[in-house]
Structure 1
Amino acid sequence: MTTIRDVAKHANVSVATVSRVTNKKGYVSKEAEHAVLKSIKELNYRPNSVARSLYHKTSGMIGLVLPDISNPYFPELARAIEDVALTYGYTVVLCNTDEEIEKEKKYFDALKQKYVDGIILTTSSLSFDEYEELDLPIVALDRVIGDHIPTVVSNNREGGKTATEHLVKCDCKFLAHIRGPRGVNPADERYIGFKEVVNKLGIPNVVVDANFNIDQAEKVTREILTKNPKIDGIFASSDVMAAGVMKAAHTVGKKIPEDLKLVGFDGIPLGDMLVPSLTTVEQSIYKMGALSARLLIKQIEKVPLDSYYYELPTTLKERETTRQRGEIT
């Protein structure tokens, strides 16, 4: 492997001169620069990326911190972030925290040691002060951490209202909401949207907590359908949770959509694969990921931001889980 000393010897210059050329720092005469670049090309020399990151305190890497990579929603975000990052010459380091605070802290320590240029967060386990202490460009994606951290989210409250109003439009008389974890902004906002509609219209309802996973959603749904057999409409806080609702409904003998209508949230491909296919509130997942990457890169490259808060609209994607009897084929 060709070393920096080999280049220096071939170009008949010092190692320091080669370093100044490759790092683009310090004065080098035109003749010396030409000799070094010619030697680099002829010897096929590639500068040591680790050494360069130590010298510059940069790496050309972006950290992406996710709470649960097994949830299909997050790989879609990651794909968009990676696409944009690569376009601008950055690589993405994926960190899956499993929603564990200590694991998240360990990742932050590792990322700082690797001199990552910035971090995109889809978690919010730590305090605002702890994130500030990282002293790195940060973008909060699908989470709200603080006013001074650029944030990209969907209009979750409006999406929750849309989902609930659609169930009412489908003649549901007793609604349930399988909400996401308390303290997680998207889950809280979707819950608020649900409550705004049921309270305004005076519709009987029940709300139960669950995490964004199939198994827990199935468990709590089975329990509430057993205790409240009159429930005829459910709004699940994510599409993955909606899949758990469908399993529970089958277990207790309720047919979807004949006996029970269901709306999810996210718009991931899973919804179209389920049988019956899932009515859902669709987020602009790719746009969210791409926008967050651009905002982070702007910070890294010292480009002023037009805004620190971006809220993208949601749309209702109507499928078979809310079809009326006459509409089912």
Structure 2
Amino acid sequence: MTSIKDVARIAGVSVATVSRVLNDKGYVGQNTREKVEKAIKETSYKPNEVARSLFKKQSNTIGLIVPDIMNPFFTELARAVEDMATKLGYNVILCNSDGDKDKEQAYLDVLKQKYVNGIIVSSNTLTALQVEELNVPVVSIDREISKGLPTIVVENKKGAVMATRFLQNKGCRRIGHIRGSYGVANAEERYEGYKEVVSKEPWFRESFIVNGDFDMQFSIEATAELLSLHPEIDGIFAANDIMAIGAMKAAYRLGRKVPEELAVIGFDGIKLSEVMTPELTTIVQPIYQLGETSTTMLISLMEQQPIEQTYYTMAVELVERKST
């Protein structure tokens, strides 16, 4: 393997001169620079990126912290971030925090040690102070961390209102809600949207709401509990697609036909929703656009380029399929 010493020997210069050319730092005469560049090309020398990042205290790398990589929403989001980062000349370090604040802090410490240039994070535990202490640009995605921090979210409450009213318009008379994790901003907003539509209905009770914790298995159990307590329910709005899929699984186990006896609608628009049987009606987020926009914004901040805006609320749309 070619080393920087080999390049220096072939070019007839010092290792320090080669380093100055590689890092574009310090004066090097044009004739000498051309000799070094020719030697690099002849030897196919590639610099040690770890050593360069230690020297420069930065790297062409961004961090991405998500709470649950098993959730296809975050898998699809990560793909979009990686695609755009690669296109713009950056690498991505993916971190799965499990929504645990200690694990999240441990990842932040590791990313700082790796001298990442910036971080995209979906977090419900990260504070404004922690962001400030990172000393690198940060973009929050999917949920807001603090005012003033560059953030990209979607119309969570509006989408929930659309979903619940859609079930009403399909003839559902008793609509239950599988909510997301308590304290998570988007879960609360979707819960509020559902409540806005049904709270004044004479049949409504808080017991029509169960916590699926944004998890498929929890949703199966929560739906079984909900339908046992309220067998009259004929429609369910789940706060994300994997919980909606869990709700359909529970309905199948209980012998409830979807959509004939129970209509189900989700939220996210993950690709898995299209291949279910029956296919899932859902509120679609622009997942790929979320990833592209957050990455473009972060890299603009890292490169100290002007950005049009620092807060995006992206539109959602309802896509009707066979589950309703």
**1:151 aligns to what?**
151
Q: d(CA) in 2 for partners of 1:274 and 1:35? A: 61
**1:212 aligns to what?**
214
What are the residue-to-residue correspondences of 1:167-316 with 2, within 5 Å? 167-199=167-199, 204-205=204-205, 206-316=208-318
Contact residue 175 and residue 203 of structure 1 kept, 8 A = no
**2:122 aligns to what?**
122
**1:327 aligns to what?**
none
Contact residue 2 and residue 45 of structure 1 kept, 8 A = yes
**2:38 aligns to what?**
38
**2:83 aligns to what?**
83
Q: d(CA) in 2 for partners of 1:318 and 1:14? A: 67
Contact residue 182 and residue 213 of structure 2 kept, 8 A = no
User: What do residues 221-270 of structure 1 show as CA deviations (whole Å, max 9, x unaligned)?
Assistant: 10111111111111000110011111111222221112111111111122
Contact residue 174 and residue 230 of structure 1 kept, 8 A = yes
Structure 2 length-normalised TM: 0.96
**Structure 1 residue 210, shift from structure 2 partner:** 2.0
- The CA RMSD measured in Å over matched residues stands at 1.3
Q: d(CA) in 1 for partners of 2:258 and 2:129? A: 46
Query: Once the two structures are aligned, what percentage of the paired residues are identical?
Result: 49
**Structure 1 residue 45, shift from structure 2 partner:** 1.7
The count of corresponding residues between Structure 1 and Structure 2 is 322
Q: d(CA) in 2 for partners of 1:79 and 1:166? A: 31
Q: Which runs of 5+ in 1 are unaligned?
A: 323-329
Matched, 1:27 2:27: yes
User: What do residues 181-237 of structure 1 show as CA deviations (whole Å, max 9, x unaligned)?
Assistant: 111111111111111111355552511112111110111110111111111111000
Residue 56 of structure 1 aligns with an amino acid whose one-letter code is: K
**1:325 aligns to what?**
none
**2:69 aligns to what?**
69
Q: d(CA) in 2 for partners of 1:261 and 1:4? A: 66
**1:48 aligns to what?**
48
Contact residue 99 and residue 124 of structure 2 kept, 8 A = no
Contact residue 265 and residue 282 of structure 1 kept, 8 A = yes
Contact residue 127 and residue 146 of structure 2 kept, 8 A = no
**Structure 1 residue 79, shift from structure 2 partner:** 1.0
**Structure 1 residue 66, shift from structure 2 partner:** 1.2
Contact residue 178 and residue 236 of structure 1 kept, 8 A = yes
Contact residue 295 and residue 305 of structure 1 kept, 8 A = yes
Q: Which runs of 5+ in 2 are unaligned?
A: none
Q: d(CA) in 1 for partners of 2:43 and 2:76? A: 41
**Structure 1 residue 9, shift from structure 2 partner:** 2.1
Contact residue 173 and residue 204 of structure 1 kept, 8 A = no
**2:104 aligns to what?**
104
Q: d(CA) in 2 for partners of 1:48 and 1:224? A: 57
Q: d(CA) in 2 for partners of 1:29 and 1:157? A: 61
Q: Greater CA deviation, 58-67 or 156-165?
A: 58-67
Contact residue 67 and residue 98 of structure 1 kept, 8 A = yes
What are the residue-to-residue correspondences of 1:126-137 with 2, within 5 Å? 126-137=126-137
Q: d(CA) in 2 for partners of 1:319 and 1:48? A: 51
**1:3 aligns to what?**
3
Q: d(CA) in 1 for partners of 2:137 and 2:125? A: 18
SS of the residue corresponding to residue 75 of structure 2 reads helix
User: What do residues 279-309 of structure 1 show as CA deviations (whole Å, max 9, x unaligned)?
Assistant: 1111111111110110011011101222111
Q: d(CA) in 1 for partners of 2:271 and 2:51? A: 43
**1:326 aligns to what?**
none
Contact residue 152 and residue 309 of structure 1 kept, 8 A = yes
Q: d(CA) in 2 for partners of 1:16 and 1:282? A: 55
SS of the residue corresponding to residue 133 of structure 1 reads helix
